[in-house]
């Protein structure tokens, strides 16, 4: 006889998305019962883990794939403005969390670090000049600097300046008040709050989901420690299982998931092992992606703060595996192919030839090739100072379009029409926009209650429903508040 658990809300996966949704619901509906189920033995052990998550605070300050240039060289900043607006929502919720006891010490999960864009060559310098002009006039990007002076470059980025041949011109877009976010630590703090009045089950794997005639869901779960079968009866289910979400959404049978496919991309990073080298660099420096490379493969030399220790990553070096999770299985991709997504998935190969060519070249790269790529950023880098680590899996969304499909480099909320089940697919910007993504889930799935929640949402997120880029006074007020609460730096003009 299977153990039976009845709950109002079932969260699948113990990553940043489920933790954020659980925290929001705990504030909005404190009387609701919440149960969380995670197949691994720890929270944030997949994509939310700090060494698996390359995007530590995506706010479009330095990521050049969010500011593409068109054929005429004009810069499109639409995506950058949207992502920065979303990150401001997350910042406000975290600040509220610190102020109101949802979260603990902020320096355990967020720390100040400059965000920097880096280009070289005459065309690259001109691109950054135009990018700076396009962004710096906007409220959300005020304070961004354009730097093309060699001496200033070397002073600010000594590791990147040492041994550099400045006959190849360089330029930077520099934003002092960026942040490094450890989403593993943040997830654990949020789950500590959620777990005060919820049941968290680790080592429990969701095997199937079936909708009942009354609109509720029955989940079949296996306790991986004991082999015990568990039956969960839930009024609402959120599938925040990272790369594992697609399989579960397919098993649910909801029509909204039909036609979706997934393309897994793995990655490796160089992690610096030399403290003297780590001490020479304090910034997140993003360059330009190789031709055909996916946006998530933009090279970056990235200062990290994990458990109060400063670290340094470079990469990613793209790889490929059929697994949908780092701890997944080699049959993940084949098992995801269904009649409804076969044509969309087959149509991707000819469309994304550049991506496939890039992945093949990356897989063929030697250790010396990887060091040479690193030397574009740090000319005097030597392989002995770096170790290669495997990062988490990313499953990019393949969405059905007509009879074919398109590969999307972003996140997609998939929700059933009656709002009883939702899931999240995709990757970047991912964790950084967890709060607005989960508010979107609430709006889609609880439309009848959402109006009544707005006052509480506005208490947690004072800019709720507003665009900060269009309201400079409110932006500066909230920026100063979040900086104080999260113990970050003040605005230069404050």
Q: What is the pTM of this model?
A: 0.90
Q: What is the 3-state secondary structure (H, E, C) of 416-473?
A: CCCCCEEEEEECCCHHHHHHHHHHHHHHHHCHHHHHHHHHHHHHHCCCCCCCHHHCHH
DSSP character for 63? -
Q: Are 134 and 67 in contact (CB under 8 A)?
A: yes
Q: How confident is the model at residue 434 (pLDDT cuts 50, 70, 90)?
A: very high
Average pLDDT score over residue span 260-272: 78
pLDDT in tens, 185-231: 999 999 999 999 999 999 999 999 999 999 999 999 999 999 999 99
Average pLDDT score over residue span 228-251: 87
Interaxial angle between packed helices 16-28 and 447-460, expressed in degrees from 0 to 180 and rounded to the nearest 10: 90
pLDDT at 283: 96
Residue 429: which of 36, 110, 16, 102 has the closest Cα?
Answer: 16
pLDDT at 298: 82
Q: Specify the higher pLDDT residue, 255 or 38.
A: 38
Is it true that the peptide bond before 412 is cis, omega within 30 degrees of 0? Answer: no
Q: Are 129 and 74 in contact (CB under 8 A)?
A: no
Q: How many CA atoms lie within 13 A of 270 on its CB side?
A: 27
Helix (H), strand (E) counts: the chain = 16, 20
Rounded to an integer, what is the distance from CA 249 to the centroid of its chain?
20
Average pLDDT score over residue span 255-281: 84
Both structure tokens of 159: 């590791």
**pLDDT greater than 50 at residue 99:** yes
pLDDT in tens, 445-455: 999 999 999 99
Q: How many CA atoms lie within 13 A of 265 on its CB side?
A: 24
pLDDT at 494: 45
Residue 416: which of 235, 263, 242, 264 has the closest Cα?
Answer: 235
Q: Are 118 and 170 in contact (CB under 8 A)?
A: yes
Q: Are 39 and 224 in contact (CB under 8 A)?
A: yes
pLDDT at 412: 76
Q: Specify the higher pLDDT residue, 397 or 186.
A: 186
Average pLDDT score over residue span 418-444: 88
Query: How does DSSP assign 319-355, residue by residue?
Result: E--S-SSTT--TTHHHHH--TTTHHHHHTHHHHTHHH
Percentage of the chain beyond pLDDT 90 is: 65
pLDDT in tens, 24-67: 999 999 999 999 999 999 988 877 777 776 556 789 999 998 99
pLDDT at 71: 86
């Amino acid at each position: 006889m299977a153990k039976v658990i009845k709950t109002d809300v079932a969260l699948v996966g113990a990553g940043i998305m489920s933790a954020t949704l659980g925290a929001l619901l705990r504030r909005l509906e404190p009387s609701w019962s919440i149960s969380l189920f995670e197949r691994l033995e720890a929270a944030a052990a997949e994509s939310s883990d700090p060494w698996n998550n390359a995007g530590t605070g995506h706010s479009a300050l330095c990521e050049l794939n969010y500011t593409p240039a068109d054929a005429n060289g004009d810069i499109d900043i639409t995506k950058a403005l949207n992502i920065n607006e979303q990150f401001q929502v997350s910042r406000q919720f975290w600040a509220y969390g610190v102020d109101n006891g949802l979260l603990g010490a902020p320096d355990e999960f967020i720390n100040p670090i400059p965000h920097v864009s880096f280009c070289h060559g005459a065309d690259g310098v001109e691109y950054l000049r135009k990018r700076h002009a396009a962004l710096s006039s906007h409220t959300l990007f005020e304070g961004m600097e354009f730097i093309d002076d060699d001496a200033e470059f070397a002073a600010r980025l000594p590791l990147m300046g040492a041994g550099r041949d400045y006959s190849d011109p360089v330029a930077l877009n520099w934003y002092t008040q960026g942040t490094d976010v450890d989403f593993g630590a943040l997830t654990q703090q949020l789950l500590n709050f959620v777990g005060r009045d919820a049941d968290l089950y680790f080592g429990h794997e969701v095997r199937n989901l079936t909708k009942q005639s009354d609109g509720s869901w029955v989940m079949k779960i296996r306790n991986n420690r004991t082999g015990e079968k568990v039956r969960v009866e839930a009024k609402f289910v959120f599938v925040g299982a990272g790369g594992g979400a697609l399989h579960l959404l397919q098993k649910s049978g909801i029509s909204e998931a039909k036609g979706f496919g997934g393309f897994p991309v793995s990655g490796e990073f160089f992690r610096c092992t030399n403290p003297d080298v780590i001490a020479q660099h304090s910034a997140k420096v993003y360059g330009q992606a190789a031709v055909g490379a996916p946006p998530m493969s933009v090279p970056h030399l990235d200062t990290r703060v994990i458990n109060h220790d400063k670290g340094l990553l470079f990469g990613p070096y793209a790889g490929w595996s059929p697994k949908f999770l780092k701890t997944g299985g080699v049959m993940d991709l084949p098992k995801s192919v269904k009649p409804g997504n076969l044509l969309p998935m087959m149509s991707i190969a000819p469309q994304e030839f550049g991506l496939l060519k890039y992945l093949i070249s990356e897989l063929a790269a030697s250790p010396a090739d990887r060091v040479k790529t690193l030397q574009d950023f740090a000319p005097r880098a030597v392989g002995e100072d770096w170790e290669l680590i495997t990062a988490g899996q990313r499953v990019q969304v393949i969405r059905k379009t007509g009879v074919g499909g398109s590969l999307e480099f972003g996140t997609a909320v998939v929700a059933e029409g009656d709002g009883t089940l939702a899931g999240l697919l995709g990757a970047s910007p991912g964790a950084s926009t967890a709060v607005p993504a989960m508010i979107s889930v609430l709006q889609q799935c609880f439309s009848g209650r959402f109006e009544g929640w707005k006052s509480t949402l506005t208490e947690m997120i004072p800019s709720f429903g507003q665009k900060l880029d269009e309201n400079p006074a409110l932006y500066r007020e909230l920026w100063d508040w979040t900086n104080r609460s999260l113990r970050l730096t003040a605005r230069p003009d404050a």
